[in-house]
Structure 1
Amino acid sequence: MSSTHALGFGIDIGGSGIKGAPVDLHKGRLAADRVRIPTPQPSTPEAVAETVGQILDEFDWRDSFGCTFPAVVQHGVTRTAANVDRAWIDCDAAAVLRRVTGRDALLVNDADAAGVAEAEFGAAADHHHGLVLVVTLGTGIGSALVNHGKLVPNTEFGHLEIDGFDAESRAADSAREREDLDWEEWGGRLQRYFTHVENLVWPDLIVVGGGVSKKFEKWSPHVRTRTQLVPAGLLNEAGIIGAALLAHG
């Protein structure tokens, strides 16, 4: 593989910011400092696609690219919309990105992209022959399931009903902040959540991403799982890296 083919490009679309950078696909890391532009308001598909195009132009990137999105994504169509304009619901987003940016785009759920990156280059890199669950704890709960190195897309385990509640409404990091829970109290919520998920899919490893992965030592002592629980390794770069990997195929 030539050095040019070792590069990909990833874009990470969020409710507040859109980030992107070229990615070294051999080493699993950014090949240049990422560029971040605030998400346009309203965050319609056209407006977001134009911002994505600005980031690609910033690096003079003319080839295909991978792009994360906070939604269920089926074959380039965004079926839901979290923290973005409702015009994304049932939008052929890949087609909009292609038309506006002039490049082919592979669109993927943001947690799925992070999961692929963690499985290939991050905390789960040594578990290619097992079932890995990646859970991102933030405003909501994102999930990715990677079986023997292959992504099982759009699992949406953050929306499991547990004790009569949508799981993320009780166990996301936003719930900890909103209810002013201490680490032990929040750990109890996570304990209930992880036990439930373990009994459904029986993973070999659970990787926890999101901002609280940096504070793993504060809450993890209050969580007991039969599955090994580890913090994510790629942190905020996982989405960009995973999107570039998936787009490269």
Structure 2
Amino acid sequence: MIENKDIHRILTIDVGGSHIKATILNRAGELQTSYKKIDTPSPATPEKVLAGVQELVKDFTDYDRVSVGFPGYIHEGHVMTAPNLGTALWQGLDLQAKLADVLQKQVRVVNDADLQGLGVVQGKGFEMVITLGTGFGTALLQRGVLLPHLELAHHPVTKHKDYDQYIGDKALETVGEAKWNRRMQKVLQILKTVFNYDHLYISGGNADKLRFTLDDNITIVSNVDGIKGGARLWQDDFAV
């Protein structure tokens, strides 16, 4: 186990379906550099994404460790699914090892919504984080501790659609904001009924398109807040 006192600066990278973002954090999760981003390459092959990461972080120096959020299911640093990048391209890839080789630092990789969750929750009771962007991301935490990741995005929400298809970017573009908001009201009611969370946090590029009143225990948070979860990945009591 690496002691937290040995880690002072953490390069934190958030790989998304639309953008790849990066910053450097201190141990407290405070930004030490400006927040930078590039477009996610298309097609988003591992080779192109790794090259994009190298280009994005080339001016970042003096960091001790690397934290990465990735839009898919991650098992011990390996990509199991990458629905919005192309699972067939990524499945089985040891992304953690690839990035460690590219960046020449120790790396930890988790699902991107899990990274967001670590950055925004208060650590009180049962908290849920959802991300509204290219797809639909979720994270569950109990007293600030990540629970096993669930790919809720691919659970059916209607007879013919899963959550990604129902409220992701493509659905928003197809049905328009008014109908998308009605769908979001339905989704939030489902989450409230199924999970009985103490608090729900909503992040992602489409969070600011919500046009209805939210419950008192629902908070909209920014992607910048979420990326701060990179510092939590290197705390003494955290393992991936």
TM-score by length of 1: 0.81
Distance 1:155 1:239 in 2: 18
**Bigger CA drift: 95-104 or 110-119?**
95-104
Contact preservation (8 Å) 2:117, 2:141: yes
Structure 1 residues 76 and 173: CA distance shift in structure 2, 3 A:
same
Per the alignment, do residues 131 and 38 of structure 1 end up closer, same or farther by CA in structure 2, a change over 3 Å counting?
Answer: same
**Pair 1:129 & 2:131 matched:** no
Residue 104 of structure 1 corresponds to 106
Q: Where in structure 2 are the equivalents of 1:119-158 lying within 5 Å?
A: 119=121, 125=122, 128-158=123-153
Aligned match of 2:11: 9
SS in 2 for 1:161: coil
1:28-177 matches, cutoff 5 A? 28-85=29-86, 86-119=88-121, 125=122, 128-164=123-159, 165-177=161-173
Give me the identity figure in percent.
30
| TM-score between the two structures when normalised by the length of structure 2 | 0.84
Q: CA deviation at 1:6?
A: 4.3
Residues 131, 146 of structure 1: 8 Å contact kept: yes
1:158-187 Cα distance to aligned partner (Å, 9 max, x none): 2221231312322335423211241xx333
- 1:108/1:58 Cα in 2 relative to 1: closer, same or farther (>3 Å)? same
Greater helix content: 1
Structure 1 pair 44/175, CA: closer, same or farther in 2 (3 Å)?
A: closer
Post-superposition Cα deviations, 1:116-135, rounded to whole Å, max 9, x if no partner, equal 1011xxxxx2xx23111111
Structure 1 runs not aligned, ≥5 long: 120-124
- Whether contact under 8 Å (2:84, 2:134) holds in the other structure is no
Distance 1:49 1:212, change over 3 A: closer
**Superposed displacement of residue 12, structure 1:** 1.2
